[in-house]
Amino acid sequence: MSRFRERPGQAQCHPEQSSLIANRYIIQQRLGKGSFATVYLVQDTKTVTAEKLKVLKEIPVGDLKPNETVHATQEAQLLSQLNHPAILKFYTSFLERDAFCIITEYCEDKDLDCKLEELKRTGQTLSEPQVCEWLCQLLLGVHYIHQRRILHRDLKAKNIFIRNNIVKIGDFGVSCLLMGSCDLATTFTGTPYYMSPEALSHRGYDSKSDIWSLGCILYEMCCLTHAFEGQNFLAVVTLIVEGPTPSLPETYSRQLNSLMQSMLEKDSSRRISAADALRSRFIEESLQSMKDKFFSLTLRDKSMRGERDASQILRALQKKLHLQTLRERSEVQKMSPRERMRLRKLQAADEKARKLKQIVEEKYQENHLRMQEYKSRNFQKVSVDVLTVRTEEAVNQTQPIQSETPNRSSELSDNTSQNSDKMCKSVSKDHAIPEDPQAAEAFYSVDEFESCSEEDSDGEEDSEDNLPTDPSCQTCGQDSDLEAMIRHMENVLDGELVGAEAEEQKPQLGSLGVSSINTSMAEGRIQRMRESVCLKLGEEVFLKVYDYLKQARQRQESEESIRQALIQLVERPGDCFEVDQLLYYEELLVAAQENTVIR
């Protein structure tokens, strides 16, 4: 097999910070870079929801023709239709220059791999209730996609994100879509520590392969190490295909260990499905306790949110009333002393009229009560004989009393009008506004009305306009995630769970694309892996290790002899893991190209 030669690197246009992508997304910072893609934190400038921060994943497509990315775009749109609290929200995808970009939900708590590394660094472990809680959420998410005949193809700790203690499965095989959405493409894009025996043996990839990866993740959550580890790539592959199934430490229950063993069954036909795992007694008990916990959290969050909303509404009303007052006062400041005096006298007249009206209403109610008492004293008893009507006399006697009511009210209204007229006359005659401006200003200053100086209004305006806004009043997606998770758990506990028949059908995701591997993307993956290993080992050491491993694999040397030889070439033999994986990928690519030529 001929060695792959390094081709000159193509100049790629990486987006700078604060640059605009697709006339919508502003890059905030770069979150990371892998062998396949670069990930950025972006701000969505056109969103109408509170979720303004999102993640942009940029996958270079290199020399791919536009028609070679059509099937990837179609299947990416299929992913955008997924709606589950345990699935990372996939918003959209598009082509930008020489890169295939996808926009997903942003999780502030990073991924599960970072969480486990932090626990390992501090010497802590995950408790079994926490492991079971995350496992139940992952099973619900995996069952959701399998029920829709969608495979993930790259389940691993780095592709599971955490947000407010809810795990979300992300990074669906979009890179695999660009590769060609076939089983060989899954081998290229998948991580060897989580790959199933049937995938490594090229016996096909189905929903049970995702369950194998989930079993590896379960072991990693409990032990903080990979379920299958080796000195080199082929050692890991051999251990997965032929080695024994690992067990959990005794600190974890036998039921959890038994469930993991059924997920890591090497025979995919005997391996448990997501639906069967959710039906198990152990998972049902975990779901019930988790449902009760989430339900109490939603009640607490709703009460707190109601209090925040009430306080926000109160502040808004107070601000509105104050703004109206300031607006009226600003109009008053523009008036002359004569106009302000006239305005204040009119306001005083309105206030006196309001008080008189209130007095009239009180008198009317008092007179009405007196009339009711008078009626009750002069009212004749009405016969209860339903066969003869004998109430006419009583009705005729009460009619004159009723006819007096409008007369009394008219007299009261006349008195009110007379009083108001007298009041207006007293305002106009006794307190006439002086014609001289200085006299009017002097009269205005000694009046009993409240002062409305510019200093007071300006000070209040500044204090009110600078009211701090409460960021906690903004809505977030956590409440909806909890409520949605509760609904999915209730469906499982109520027995409304579709069986494993749908999971075993032909996958829908991948059926839109081609059945062969995209050699251009595979070559790009191999090239980037070569560059990464060369940078880590140095070009001279890399070539020595590359030549030795290639010849050693051809001679079928033992793993121990290979390890001893690598110790003489490098300080840490574990650094040669990627070189071994690179050789494996090169052999797969050559075989795929030969099969393409034969066809």
Reduced to 3 states, what is the DSSP secondary structure of residue 38?
strand
Residue 200: exposure state from Cβ atoms within 10 A (0-12, 13-18, ≥19) = middle
User: How crowded is residue 520: how many other Cβ atoms within 10 Å of its Cβ?
Assistant: 16
Tokens of 297: 């959290």
Rounded to whole angstroms, how far apart are CA atoms 34 and 168?
20
Reduced to 3 states, what is the DSSP secondary structure of residue 19?
coil
Residue 166's beta-bridge partner residues? 163
Residue 464: exposure state from Cβ atoms within 10 A (0-12, 13-18, ≥19) = middle
Residue 414: exposure state from Cβ atoms within 10 A (0-12, 13-18, ≥19) = exposed
Residue 96's beta-bridge partner residues? 99
**What residues are annotated to the active site?**
154
Rounded to whole angstroms, how far apart are CA atoms 361 and 462?
42
Rounded to whole angstroms, how far apart are CA atoms 319 and 464?
7
Rounded to whole angstroms, how far apart are CA atoms 592 and 342?
96
Backbone angles phi, psi at 517, to 5 degrees: -75, 145
Rounded to whole angstroms, how far apart are CA atoms 350 and 356?
10
Rounded to whole angstroms, how far apart are CA atoms 372 and 376?
6
